[in-house]
Each structure stands twice: as structure tokens, then as C-alpha cells.
Amino acid sequence: RDRGQVKCKFRTLNFRKAKFQLFKELVNRTPWETALRDKGAEQSRQIFKDAYHTAQELSIHRCKKSGKNSKRPSSMSQDLLIKLKGGKEMHRQRKQGQVSSGEYRDAARLCRDGVRKAKVQLKLNLARDAKNNKKGFYRYVSQERKVKESVCPLMNTTGKLVTTDEEKAEVLNNTFASVFTGSPSSHTS
């Protein structure tokens, strides 16, 4: 069933299984003096590129590039992912009117409970293993760290918009200081 999504199948070079000696022999086998004689720069480049790519295809294997679809959160097991996929399917059927709202609600609740329990189990395992394996704990913490959002441009007391971080910090400091000292300050931002 095609829903209009384009699926790219990238294949990257797998240098672990590469046969570099074969690659070198294939490139050296080409008689470069006769092949490039009386050719322009662009034609010479194209001839070399073609020879290089054919040697590469014969000596270096390709492997599938793992994309987002193959990755799954470490907290979720395979059976939970199957259950979530069933929940998405049930949502689609609900929109088409094939499933009642009660059935869909129950399935959605089961999926939410499963995800919640999986996250709790992951946190418990991390807490238990943090004594012996600090790397897993710090990896989890760094993934959970939120990205800092930038502060939008602020207006200073003269009515100008300030955009640099230093000016924003100064405006915010003056505003917070005015709250505690009681001096009037422009609170517009």
C-alpha cells in the first residue's frame, strides 16, 4: 500500500569488507598514457572517473544505510513496537469508521501504558547500573537534555529592540532589579 511516501534506499560503501589490493590492481591495469592521450581536461577527468567507479564497484561492497526507520528507542522492546504499530493501524481504521471509539480508546490507553512502563523500566535499569556503568547513565542524561531556546528580541527603556545576548541580559537584569527595588521600568518585551 503506497501512501505517496518516497522510500529512499541508500547504500553506502562498506570499507570493512573492501579489497584494496584488487582496487589498486584494477586502477593500475588501465593504460593511462594511451587512454588520456589527446584528450581535454574534462574528457580525461570523465575517463578517470568512470575507471575509478568501475574499480570501486568491483572491489568495495555496499551495505544498507541505517535510517530512522531501523532505529528504535532503547526503552522499547520489539513487542511494544508491534503493539504501537497496531495502535496506529487502529487509529487509521477509526478515522475510516471501521472501529468504534471505545475500542480505539482502549487500544490507545494500552499503548500509552506500555510506553510509560517501558520508560520507567529503562530509568530503573539505568539507576541500578549507574554504579558500574556510568556511560549509559550519562548518555541518557545527555539525550534528555533539552535544547536551549533563544530569547526573542527585547525592547529596552528607550524603546529600541535589542538582539545581542549581552544587551538582552542587561535588559532582563534591569527588569528583574526593578521588581525588587520598586523603581519604575519598562516591562514590555
What digits encode the pLDDT tens for the residues 103-159?
999 989 989 999 899 888 888 888 888 888 888 888 878 877 766 667 778 888 888
pLDDT at 91 over 70: yes
What per-residue confidence (pLDDT) applies to 181? 80
Is 3 inside a domain boundary?
Answer: no
What confidence tier does 75 reach under pLDDT thresholds 50, 70, 90?
A: low
CB hemisphere CA count around 89 (13 angstroms): 7
DSSP symbols for 129-147: HTTT-HHHHHHHHHHHPPP
Q: Are residues 85 and 135 in the same domain?
A: yes
Residues constituting the chain: 189
Q: pTM value?
A: 0.41
Residue type, 121: Q
| Total number of domains in the chain | 3
Determine, yes or no, domain membership for 2.
no
pLDDT > 60? residue 31: yes
Instruction: Please determine, for residue 3, whether its predicted confidence score (pLDDT) is greater than 60.
Output: no
Specify whether 44 is located in the same domain as 84.
no
**60 belongs to a structural domain:** yes
Does 97 map to a domain? yes
- Residue 180: which domain range? 147-189
Does residue 178 share a domain with residue 132? Answer: no
Specify if 6 maps to a domain. no
69: in domain: no
